[in-house]
Amino acid sequence: MGRTPEVSALSDSPKGRSPEPLAALFVGLAAFFAYLFTLAPTVASNDAGRFQIAAPLLGTGHPTGYPTFILAGKLFTFLPFGDAAYRMNLMAAVFGGVAVALMYLVARGIGAGKAPSAGAALLFAFSATFWGEATCAEVYSMHASFLLGVMYLLLRWRERGGTFRLALAGLLFGLSLGNNAGMVLLAPAFLILLVAGRWRSLSSKMLFSSGFASLVGVSVYAYVPIRGFAGAWHNYGDPVNDWNDVWRLVSGARFQGLMGASPPELLFNAGHFLYELSSQTVSPFGYVLALAMLAGGIYGASKVFARDRVVGAALAAAFLATLAYALGYEIDDIAVYYIPVYAIIFIFLAVGTTSLSNVFRSPWVPAAPVIAAALVLGLNFSAADRSDYYDERENSEATLAALPEEAVLYGKTPIIPATYLTEVEGERGDVILRWLDGGTLGRSFESDVESGRPVFFISDERYNDEYLPFAEKYAEAEEEGGLIRLAPRSR
């Protein structure tokens, strides 16, 4: 479909000309410095804590293994400042800034003006969910970078052609699967950009180069058996001892039972999505932002379709695939799975704002997203600020200090930062830390008690009733502060 150049809001260049790299850099740096000032300073718990252990030790993560994230994290651990956990957090901030810069470029590439593109990208940057994921060692800022990077390269290829752009897009797509396997949901959108209306311009050299580059990228998964079979540290409950373990890990078999929500559950989850959308800044401004995102996004999507149906279809496919997946996935931290959805909405919002500014010819219209981004920055800063969060480190240091020599300690999430201190930083090398679950208790608890080593549970009312009855078959339980000591029963 033929397209005629048009002048975007606050731009002196026609649509289709190369977007401004310096403007993208400025927007990305603005986001990065916000993340840097609010960055978590040290070790965390849950998944971030697991990555802070796996990367320095070149271990394997929880399903699906995350080899790209772990290898990139290992590179960041060589930086000469902060502890290893801080350096991993810094990586999330860097990729957060990259994602924001790429969103600006994507929005500009499909016709949005400078100010609307910058404002939409910064609104995404300062939205509560994405900001939170860009200040600790999590995969979602890198995921957004890969998504927007591949999309940008394919948009540039559609305009300018070139085997290199296509091969680089293929390489990034392959590597992205090693960071978050959910990137496969974007494959139909990328295929639309690749094939629709451009099939005749695809040479065999281009197809081979992009396909080969994708295979090179996804070959990063060879890391999982290489390091797993070498006996590297692995995520609790996800060992890598043989090929069955490898497949179970990379396929995410442990989580497959959480997919396939029923119609009532889907309806409830759709309501939860709207709630999360309205929670991207504090009330009542969160409701205003959510309405602007929905209305502006729908209006912008209509303008993208009117201008270029292929691009509109690709973005719509990406939006629907990621939203449908998130609505059907029954996990506690589902909010982070909405990040790609928000990214696409904000891209549409940039185009919609540009169209409105061309109608009303007022400088306030294209500036509105920039003003809104500045407001959201101020409103969210305090809640996003993790710069003084040392709780996990201090609590774990206190727990380890309270243990006698040669102790064995069982626990759930508090065992993660403690493991970081022992395995990465070398504290208390005399103690053994074990993940608290039925399998570990069945394999190890009786022998731990009979070994004569002091055995403890981290006391947690959420799990005591579940696991203490098993332990009390072999030991007497006695509360000692925040720990439960388990002494052998007298024969």
- pLDDT per residue as tens digits for the range 307-347: 999 999 999 999 999 999 999 988 888 999 999 999 999 99
pLDDT in tens, 147-169: 999 999 999 999 888 899 999 99
pLDDT in tens, 1-10: 344 334 344 3
- Kindly report the backbone phi and psi dihedral angles of residue 231, in degrees, each rounded to the nearest multiple of 5, phi listed first: 85, 25
Average pLDDT over residues 66-91: 97
pLDDT in tens, 382-420: 999 999 999 999 999 999 999 999 999 999 989 999 999
Average pLDDT over residues 96-104: 98
Q: Give pairs for 184-190: CB < 8 Å, separation 24+.
A: 185/318, 185/321, 185/322, 185/325, 186/147, 186/150, 186/318, 186/321, 186/322, 186/340, 188/317, 188/321, 189/151, 189/314, 189/315, 189/317, 189/318, 189/321, 190/150, 190/151, 190/154, 190/314
For the chain, the structural domain boundaries read 21-384, 391-488
Q: How far is CA 236 from CA 15, 61, 63, 258, 285, in A?
A: 51, 9, 11, 19, 41
Q: Which pLDDT score is estimated for 490?
A: 64
CA angle 445, 450, 451 (to 5 degrees): 95
Sign of CA dihedral 379, 271, 346, 334: positive
In terms of DSSP bridges, do strands 483-488 and 475-480 run parallel, antiparallel, or are they unpaired?
antiparallel
Longest dimension (CA), the chain: 89
Nearest to 155 by CA among 35, 16, 352: 16
Nearest to 308 by CA among 5, 93, 28: 5
Type of residue at 102: L
- Kindly report the backbone phi and psi dihedral angles of residue 429, in degrees, each rounded to the nearest multiple of 5, phi listed first: -65, -10
Confidence of residue 80 (pLDDT cuts 50, 70, 90): very high
Share of the chain above pLDDT 90, in %: 75
Peptide bond connecting 284 to the previous residue in cis, omega within 30 degrees of 0: yes
Q: CA 182: distance to chain centroid?
A: 10
Burial label, 475 (beta-carbon count in 10 A; 0-12, 13-18, 19+)? buried
Nearest to 45 by CA among 386, 339, 283: 386
Q: CA 212: distance to chain centroid?
A: 26
> By mean pLDDT, which of 66-80, 85-99, 198-212, 314-328 is the weakest?
198-212
Taking all residues of the chain, what is their mean pLDDT, rounded to a whole number?
91
Residue 427 confidence (pLDDT) above 90: yes
pLDDT in tens, 40-65: 999 999 899 999 999 999 999 999 99
Would you say how long the chain is, in residues? Answer: 491
- Kindly report the backbone phi and psi dihedral angles of residue 481, in degrees, each rounded to the nearest multiple of 5, phi listed first: 65, -125
Q: Which residues pair with 234 in a beta bridge?
A: 60
How far apart, in whole angstroms, are the C-alpha atoms of residue 469 and residue 448? Answer: 16
Q: Which pLDDT score is estimated for 14?
A: 41
Residue 104 confidence (pLDDT) above 80: yes
Q: Which pLDDT score is estimated for 10?
A: 39
Q: Look-up: residue for tokens 């009303």?
A: 360
How far apart, in whole angstroms, are the C-alpha atoms of residue 330 and residue 310? Answer: 32
Confidence of residue 254 (pLDDT cuts 50, 70, 90): confident
Q: Comparing 476 with 230, which gets the higher pLDDT?
A: 230
Residue 231 confidence (pLDDT) above 90: yes
pLDDT in tens, 429-453: 999 999 998 888 888 998 998 888 9
How far apart, in whole angstroms, are the C-alpha atoms of residue 323 and residue 316? Answer: 10
How far apart, in whole angstroms, are the C-alpha atoms of residue 208 and residue 161? Answer: 15
pLDDT in tens, 167-189: 999 999 999 999 999 999 999 99
Residue 259 token pair = 């997919």
In terms of DSSP bridges, do strands 475-480 and 455-458 run parallel, antiparallel, or are they unpaired?
unpaired
Confidence of residue 16 (pLDDT cuts 50, 70, 90): very low
Residue 203 confidence (pLDDT) above 60: yes
Residue 145 confidence (pLDDT) above 80: yes
How far apart, in whole angstroms, are the C-alpha atoms of residue 203 and residue 201? Answer: 6
